[in-house]
Amino acid sequence: MKCNNCILLLTFLCSFVDAKSSLICTDGFTLINNKCLKLFSTPSNHQEAEKSCSRFGATLVTVKNANDSQAISTITKSSAPLVWLGLYCFDNYPSRCLWDDGTGSAHMFSNFSNGFPLVQLGNCVYYSTRGVLAEKWLNSDCAGNRMAYICELPPTFKDNCTHNYNGFCYTISQYAKVPLKAQESCQKEGGNLVSIHSENENRYINTIAPVVDYFIGATWNFYNILKWIDGTDMQYTNIDLLNSNRVDYCTAMATKSGGAHSTGSWYSADCSITKQYICKRRAGVQCSMTSTTAIPFPEIPSNCNVGIQMAPGVINSRNLSGSVNCTYQLATLGPYKIALKFTFFDTGNDYVTIYDGPSTESPILGRYSGNMYEFTRTSSGSTMVVTFKSDGFGNQSGFNAGFSSIVY
Ligand SMILES: *[C@@H]1O[C@H](CO)[C@@H](O)[C@H](O)[C@H]1NC(C)=O
Ligand SMILES: *[C@@H]1O[C@H](CO)[C@@H](O)[C@H](O)[C@H]1NC(C)=O
Ligand SMILES: *[C@@H]1O[C@H](CO)[C@@H](O)[C@H](O)[C@H]1NC(C)=O
Ligand SMILES: *[C@@H]1O[C@H](CO)[C@@H](O)[C@H](O)[C@H]1NC(C)=O
Ligand SMILES: *[C@@H]1O[C@H](CO)[C@@H](O)[C@H](O)[C@H]1NC(C)=O
Ligand SMILES: *[C@@H]1O[C@H](CO)[C@@H](O)[C@H](O)[C@H]1NC(C)=O
């Protein structure tokens, strides 16, 4: 089957390379009670300790049950009297103490010493390994106090890949591709464009990815719902809320701060441009392909002359040809303005005109042709109209834009 705009879904039959497929730890961590732990004896404050763990994509140790507590005693072997936990208290209740790994509060399980949590002594929490307070949790000043700490990683399966985390291998592409081609490349390696299911996994990917932004495997469907291309559930999202312009159906991750998006956040990205990308496959398995099915990549409507569209949405000239006379009517709810962001613009002699209001009688916000770098125009009220006219459209690349609501 020949299809230029299709995702080929490959079906694999996989089996563990090692029949016993035992759990292992990477980076010199030790497997104890199904956790990978590593003790660092250099006294550090809480923030330094967190930072040190994040170099491995790890977090400070968390204690969710009695086994976890026992694991701490096992690894310290009483060599460190006190160790930091990855727990931060906002108030003097376990339910107001949150685990650093994003899994919630210490409400379900805790072992605070009598009279604790006590944030008057500090917001961070440490674990005492010996003495009368053995296995008890106490508060201390996050910045002022220094002690040993334990980093924690999830165990994984044996595999010879470079980035092996929590049962999966991750690869950072060397070359930039459009998402469709990127997905094909990932499939050739037995995986998919990466899906991300927790704060920890998101953080891990950030630590292995160098300094550019990458395509990830999330696509918006026609109804504005974000889906993972590998079919897994979207239980976790990290969309950049301050920068959430929907420009297209594809998604990229900002891996290092300094750009328009905060580190590790996801944003809507143009499906027709190329970027590097991240693939993910199961670790420790050997797969053979059993079948392929071609499914069309989400059709991207131009939304030319479709009537009023509520934010967020996209408008573009992609699916148009011949003579074109398009009006795009954009709207949002009363308390908001519309931000229209062009991610691609190359219209030759044809003009795109933006009106600040509900019709083409409204004041002109801007009139553009030719080749433009990425730009954004914002309405003064809750409506905006865009027109695009051409006598012989077909040769130019056209434009691609996304619009969303922003507060005054
Ligand atoms: C809680 O602390 C006590 C010491 O008071 C210890 O005996 C017990 O094992 C601890 N429980 C857990 C689950 O850590
Ligand atoms: C603790 O470990 C024991 C033995 O390894 C296991 O049977 C039990 O399910 C574990 N409990 C939890 C809460 O993980
Ligand atoms: C390890 O690498 C070799 C090639 O370098 C490959 O053939 C083999 O399948 C890999 N094993 C696993 C478990 O990925
Ligand atoms: C794109 O154009 C083709 C024909 O040119 C049409 O059949 C199809 O419905 C269009 N798709 C969308 C999403 O507008
Ligand atoms: C383009 O469409 C608008 C309304 O949809 C109409 O008023 C205008 O006359 C059209 N222009 C051309 C050149 O067809
Ligand atoms: C422009 O499009 C016409 C008709 O589709 C084609 O014959 C011509 O080669 C194109 N010109 C360029 C420069 O692509």
CATH number at residue 320: 2.60.120.290
pLDDT at 18: 66
Q: Is residue 301 lining ligand 4, measured as CB closer than 6 Å?
A: yes
Q: Are residues 161 and 14 in the same domain?
A: yes
pLDDT at 29: 96
In a domain, 367, yes or no: yes
What average pLDDT does the structure give for the chain?
87
Tens digit of each residue's pLDDT (9 = 90 or more) over 28-79: 999 998 899 999 999 999 999 998 998 888 999 999 999 999 999 899 987 8
Q: What's the rounded mean pLDDT across residues 213-226? A: 82
For ligand 6, the distance from its centroid to the CA atom of residue 394, given in whole angstroms, is 8
For ligand 3, the distance from its centroid to the CA atom of residue 20, given in whole angstroms, is 17
Where residue 184 falls (left for φ over 0; alpha for ψ -120 to 50; beta otherwise) is alpha
Domain final position from 259, 293, 327: 293
Q: Are residues 169 and 279 in the same domain?
A: yes
> Under 8 Å CB-to-CB from 52, ≥6 apart: which residues?
40, 44, 149, 151
Q: Are residues 135 and 202 in the same domain?
A: no
CA 226 to chain centre: 12
28-37, 38-47, 155-164, 227-236, range with the lowest pLDDT? 227-236
Domain final position from 293, 316, 343: 293
pLDDT-derived band of residue 131, with 50, 70 and 90 as boundaries?
confident
Q: What's the rounded mean pLDDT across residues 281-307? A: 77
Q: Are residues 259 and 377 in the same domain?
A: no
For ligand 1, the distance from its centroid to the CA atom of residue 249, given in whole angstroms, is 51
In a domain, 49, yes or no: yes
pLDDT at 195: 96
Considering only residues 200 and 278, tell me which one the structure prediction assigns the higher pLDDT. 278
In a domain, 89, yes or no: yes
In a domain, 298, yes or no: no
* Helix (H) or strand (E) segment spanning residue 280: strand 276-282
pLDDT at 104: 87
pLDDT-derived band of residue 83, with 50, 70 and 90 as boundaries?
very high
Alpha helical stretches, state H, 3-155: 46-54, 66-76
Distance (Å, whole) CA 91 – CA 358? 49
pLDDT at 199: 85
For ligand 1, the distance from its centroid to the CA atom of residue 128, given in whole angstroms, is 10
* Helix (H) or strand (E) segment spanning residue 38: strand 35-44
Domain final position from 293, 320, 335: 293
Distance (Å, whole) CA 177 – CA 333? 37
Q: Are residues 197 and 324 in the same domain?
A: no
pLDDT cut 90: percent of the chain above it: 49
CA atoms within 13 A on the CB side of 73: 12
Distance (Å, whole) CA 178 – CA 276? 9
Q: Which domain holds residue 258?
A: 6-19+156-293
Tens digit of each residue's pLDDT (9 = 90 or more) over 318-369: 778 788 899 999 998 877 889 998 888 988 889 999 999 999 999 999 999 9
In a domain, 244, yes or no: yes
Considering only residues 395 and 389, tell me which one the structure prediction assigns the higher pLDDT. 389
Closest atom of ligand 1 relative to the 136 alpha carbon: 2
6-15, 103-112, 277-286, 303-312, range with the lowest pLDDT? 6-15
For ligand 6, the distance from its centroid to the CA atom of residue 395, given in whole angstroms, is 6
pLDDT cut 70: percent of the chain above it: 88
pLDDT at 153: 93
Q: Is residue 288 lining ligand 3, measured as CB closer than 6 Å?
A: no
Residue 1 has pLDDT above 50, yes or no: no
Choose the most confident range, by mean pLDDT, from 95-104, 114-123, 262-271, 284-293: 114-123
pLDDT at 226: 84
In a domain, 302, yes or no: no
Q: Are residues 280 and 379 in the same domain?
A: no
Residue 313 has pLDDT above 80, yes or no: yes
In a domain, 350, yes or no: yes
CB 163 within 8 A of CB 278: no
In a domain, 1, yes or no: no
Q: Are residues 148 and 165 in the same domain?
A: no
Domain count across the chain: 3
Q: Are residues 128 and 63 in the same domain?
A: yes
The binding-site residues of ligand 6, defined as CB within 6 angstroms of any ligand atom, are 394-395
Closest atom of ligand 1 relative to the 63 alpha carbon: 14
Q: What's the CATH number where 210 sits? A: 3.10.100.10
pLDDT at 214: 95
pLDDT at 6: 66
Pocket test of ligand 3: the residue of 15, 20, 160, 168 to mutate, having most ligand atoms within 8 Å of its CB, is 160
Q: Are residues 191 and 252 in the same domain?
A: yes
pLDDT-derived band of residue 406, with 50, 70 and 90 as boundaries?
confident
Tokens of 265: 């956040």
Tens digit of each residue's pLDDT (9 = 90 or more) over 88-101: 999 999 999 999 88
Q: Are residues 165 and 287 in the same domain?
A: yes
Q: Are residues 315 and 384 in the same domain?
A: yes
Ligand nearest to the CA of 305: 5
pLDDT at 334: 75
Q: Is residue 5 lining ligand 2, measured as CB closer than 6 Å?
A: no
Q: What's the rounded mean pLDDT across residues 157-168? A: 92
CA 360 to chain centre: 39
Q: Are residues 15 and 134 in the same domain?
A: no
Ligand 6: residue whose CA is nearest its atom 10:
395
For ligand 2, the distance from its centroid to the CA atom of residue 48, given in whole angstroms, is 32
pTM, rounded to two decimals: 0.71
